[in-house]
């Protein structure tokens, strides 16, 4: 897996990440969603540099111009519900992409610290020989992405997989390195060093789904 930690570069991206983490700014859910969307746009731009291109000819009022344009058949797969604002940011940059949506959530049993990832909904087109972009804002343990990978395989063998995430834990990133195909690319805005006993990223930013859409029961 190739890891693209965009947050270590000098970029306005880091301002959006800082705003996401700020407990006072988080009180504005509209701004929170918009910041995630903007991060999705920036990561999409970075990802676009790794896609396949071919020359096409554009006709202007005064002549023609050859231009390199991306040719990959993209399928953007958002992990519900937290992935929706990030998905919109990616979709803003890839007009012709197909879309998929998967439900994956933590199912806590008797012990609050122990959980399993349950996937019970997937809507997707054929993924055969296409480039799949998995969109999940928080890469904590990596188990959600692992189960998502298992679930999407029944829709065909993807040509390549990209993962777009906002914040990940070092442990989660290392975990998916051993799960995903070697030619997978991870595009991420920040990597934090700690994962607590409950499987949450520290310092992270809290529950992205709750901050974007309200607290769930």
- The CATH number assigned to the domain holding 159 equals 3.40.50.2020
Supply the range of the domain harboring residue 121: 2-51+71-108+115-213
The answer, yes or no, to whether residue 106 has pLDDT greater than 70, is no
On whether residue 154 sits in a domain, the answer given is: yes
Number of domains observed in the structure of the chain: 1
> What pairing do the DSSP bridges indicate for beta strands 131-135 and 201-202?
unpaired
On whether residue 59 sits in a domain, the answer given is: no
On whether residue 66 sits in a domain, the answer given is: no
Cα dihedral 28, 88, 49, 56 sign: negative
On whether residue 26 sits in a domain, the answer given is: yes
Q: What is d(CA 44, CA 53) in angstroms, rounded to the nearest whole number?
A: 15
Q: What is d(CA 190, CA 175) in angstroms, rounded to the nearest whole number?
A: 16
On whether residue 79 sits in a domain, the answer given is: yes
Number of neighbouring beta carbons within 10 Å of residue 115: 16
On whether residue 61 sits in a domain, the answer given is: no
On whether residue 63 sits in a domain, the answer given is: no
> What pairing do the DSSP bridges indicate for beta strands 98-108 and 115-123?
antiparallel
Average pLDDT over residues 119-139: 93
The pTM assigned to this predicted structure is 0.91
Burial of 11: CB neighbours in 10 Å, binned 0-12, 13-18, 19+? middle
What is the tens place of the pLDDT at every residue in 163-187? 999 999 999 999 999 999 999 999 9
């Amino acid at each position: 897996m190739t890891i693209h930690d965009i947050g270590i570069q000098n970029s306005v991206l880091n301002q959006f990440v800082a705003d996401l983490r700020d407990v006072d700014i988080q009180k504005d859910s509209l701004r929170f969603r918009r910041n995630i969307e903007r991060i999705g746009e920036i990561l999409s731009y970075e990802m676009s540099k790794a896609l396949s291109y071919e020359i096409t000819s554009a006709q202007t009022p005064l002549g023609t111009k050859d231009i390199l344009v991306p040719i990959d058949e993209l399928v953007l797969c958002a992990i519900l519900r937290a992935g929706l604002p990030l998905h919109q940011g990616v979709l803003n940059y890839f007009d012709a992409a197909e879309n998929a949506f998967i439900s994956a959530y933590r199912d806590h049993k008797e012990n609050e610290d122990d959980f399993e990832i349950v996937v019970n909904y997937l809507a997707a087109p054929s993924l055969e020989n296409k480039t799949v972009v998995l969109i999940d804002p928080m890469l904590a343990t990596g188990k959600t992405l692992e189960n998502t990978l298992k679930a999407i395989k029944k829709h065909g063998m993807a040509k390549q997989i990209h993962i777009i995430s906002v914040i990940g834990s070092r442990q989660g990133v290392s975990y998916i390195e051993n799960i995903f195909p070697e030619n997978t690319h991870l595009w991420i805005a920040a990597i934090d060093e700690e994962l607590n006993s409950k499987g949450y990223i520290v310092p992270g930013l809290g529950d992205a789904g709750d901050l974007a859409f309200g607290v769930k029961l």
